[in-house]
């Protein structure tokens, strides 16, 4: 379907996918950065990203080291890049990859750094969490960013295992689609590590079947 992707930390982890003769349906990848090689993880290795995959740049935050290389890297992106992703979990303030951004700052940053690429590629919203703050944050962002080009909504989803957990996953994504009326990218999702391998596989099989069939889900990436 062309929907399946990878969220990766080091480029060499992409080489097992989308190779000739393999059954992989993975077609795209991103790494929370603006080039396929994350300097602090990949060092000088610029040859290990799988060229069979479409690389999608992301501006993780408004930190100076991220913003300072953004335009240069995106301007020199691979020719098959067809989208760019915005800020990572701006509604989250509990560490990890969350960026805990004030909405006004996010709006100004989006206008300055994202919208100039609108004529060339699709633009993704900031990627919200499935916590209580996610949907309200994105509603206010879109209200303040009036007139901004936002072609799809990016979301994350994590939860602990429980009977019927797939129903929560499905209903959350349907709420996202019904609330914002835009195509959806799920750029991170998985059960929390406390789930067993069997539980992860059971959930993944249900999730992938649903995501592949939902026309309004354009792309998704499992991450663990």
97-109 pLDDT tens trace: 899 999 999 999 9
Residue 158 has which token pair?
């994590």
In this prediction, residue 153 carries a pLDDT of: 98
In whole angstroms, give the CA distance from residue 59 to residue 88. 8
State the average pLDDT for the chain. 94
Is residue 147 scored above 80 in pLDDT?
Answer: yes
pLDDT at residue number 45? 73
What is the rounded average pLDDT of the residues 184-211? Answer: 96
The model's confidence at residue 127, banded by pLDDT at 50, 70 and 90, is very high
Determine the length of the chain: 224
pLDDT at 43: 75
pLDDT tens per residue, range 51-88: 889 999 999 999 999 999 999 999 999 999 999 999 99
CA distances from 189 to 80, 172, 179, 192, 205 (A): 25, 12, 20, 9, 13
Q: Is the pLDDT of residue 152 over 90?
A: yes
Q: Of 209, 193, 118, whose CA–CA distance to 217 is shortest?
A: 209
DSSP result, the chain: ---EEEE-SSGGGGTTSS-TT------EEE-SSSSSS-HHHHTT--S-S-TTSEE--B---S-HHHHHHHHHHHHT--TT--EEB--BSTT--SSTT-----HHHHHHHHHHHTGGGTTTSEEBPPBB-SSTTHHHHHHHHHHHTTT----BEEEEEEE---TTHHHHHHHHHHHHHHHH-S-EEEEEEEE-TTS-HHHHHHHHHHHHHHHHH-TTEEEEEE--
| pLDDT of 21 | 62
Residue 1's pLDDT is 60
Q: Which pLDDT score, from 0 to 100, does residue 202 have?
A: 96
Is residue 20 pLDDT above 80, yes or no? no
The answer to whether the CB of 165 falls within 8 A of the CB of 203 is yes
């Amino acid at each position: 379907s062309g929907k399946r992707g990878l969220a990766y930390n080091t480029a060499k982890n992409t080489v097992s996918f989308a190779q000739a003769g393999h059954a992989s349906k993975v077609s795209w990848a991103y790494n929370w950065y603006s080039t396929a090689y994350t300097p602090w993880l990949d060092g000088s290795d610029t040859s290990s990203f799988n060229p069979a995959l479409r690389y999608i740049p992301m501006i993780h935050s408004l930190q100076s080291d991220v913003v300072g290389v953004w335009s240069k890297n995106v301007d020199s992106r691979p020719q098959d890049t067809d989208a760019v992703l915005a800020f990572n979990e701006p509604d989250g303030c509990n560490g990890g990859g969350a960026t805990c951004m004030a909405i006004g700052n996010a709006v100004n940053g989006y206008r300055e750094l994202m919208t100039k690429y609108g004529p060339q590629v699709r633009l993704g919203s900031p990627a919200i969490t499935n916590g209580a703050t996610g949907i309200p944050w994105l509603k206010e962002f879109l209200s303040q960013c009036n007139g901004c080009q936002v072609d799809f909504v990016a979301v994350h989803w994590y939860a602990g295992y429980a009977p019927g957990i797939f129903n929560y996953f499905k209903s959350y994504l349907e709420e996202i689609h019904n609330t914002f009326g835009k195509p959806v990218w799920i750029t991170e999702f998985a059960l929390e590590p406390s789930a067993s391998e069997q539980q992860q596989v059971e959930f993944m099989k249900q999730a992938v079947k649903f995501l592949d069939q939902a026309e309004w889900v354009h792309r998704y990436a499992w991450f663990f």
